[in-house]
Amino acid sequence: MRLSRIIACVALVALLAGCRNSASDGQQASSTFYNAGNRQPATDDLMEVKIPSGVSNRRIDYEAMTVYFNPKYHIPNCVAYELTATEIAQTDAPDAQKRNNYTFNADPKVSGCPEWWEYKESYYDRGHMAPAMDMRWSAKTMEQCFYMTNICPQDHDLNNGEWRKMEEAIHSWARTYKQLYIMTGPVLPKNNIEMTGKNGDIAVPQQFFKVVYAPQQNMAIAFLFDNENATTSWRKHSTTIDEVERLTGIDFFSSLPDTTENAVEAQNRFSKWPYHRDREFNDGYNYNNTRNRKRTH
């Protein structure tokens, strides 16, 4: 009698354990299905851009930025990065990395990356696409943003003028909105591309774009500048992401639901973005300490 009771108890325990395991498996399967069907875009998804087919492109993932590099023209097609309020606090801290401690260098792992000295006799600045002011939170991110894969030939007056003021404003917007996704790059002309550099093989952009998306507020804006001294305020250069996509053929934020993507990419409501008082950003570098240049081409 006692033996039969023991056997019955063992059977009951096994049955209950099997039921619990089945329920657990069912919950896990249900959770996995739910996540797959309702997944929000991950950080890397929003950094993904689609370069047009036929355009020479190589993707390079660095610590804080993703570079879509063009080995044919030796400049990036686009540079994408996320900027958070936490990183802003670090970049603006007294012990942040100083720009004047870093120099331009070729990325030794990237074929076709120009050397820093190839711009030496050029009229143009080595223009950062992901700016150093946003990368000062670590030595590694600063070193990588000075790789020539992140650089385009840029008019000095633009680089040191309204373009820089726009970058300072975006820097402050990340503090306000907590998280931004920023894409920057060149717009090349369809024909008769100007070339520069020691070997005459670095393409000169006709324009530059900047795309900004604040996911928590579902707000977006873009900017377009000609590659020359901007005679009007950077505020006058706002446009839509749709317009940048039309000019470049690049597809931004394709991981968003179509309705969200269409809505944000059509936005150009500059008044909705926080007012930024133009100021000189102090990162330990004298931006006016450059030689006089004459445009000869």
| Cα–Cα separations (whole angstroms), residue 280 to 95, 97, 242, 288 | 19, 17, 31, 12
- Mean pLDDT along residues 113-142: 95
Q: Are residues 28 and 50 part of one domain?
A: no
pLDDT tier, 121 (very low <50, low <70, confident <90, very high otherwise): confident
Answer yes or no: is pLDDT of 93 > 60: yes
pLDDT in the model for residue 106: 97
Q: Are residues 184 and 69 part of one domain?
A: yes
Which residues form the domain of 35?
1-39
Q: Are residues 35 and 58 part of one domain?
A: no
pLDDT tens-digit profile of 29-77? 322 222 223 333 334 689 999 999 999 999 999 999 999 999 999 999 9
pLDDT in the model for residue 42: 37
Answer yes or no: is pLDDT of 295 > 60: no
| Cα–Cα separations (whole angstroms), residue 245 to 211, 212, 221 | 10, 13, 13
CATH number for the domain spanning 218: value is 3.40.570.10
Q: Are residues 33 and 179 part of one domain?
A: no
pLDDT in the model for residue 254: 95
pLDDT in the model for residue 13: 43
Greatest Cα pair distance, the chain, in angstroms, is 106
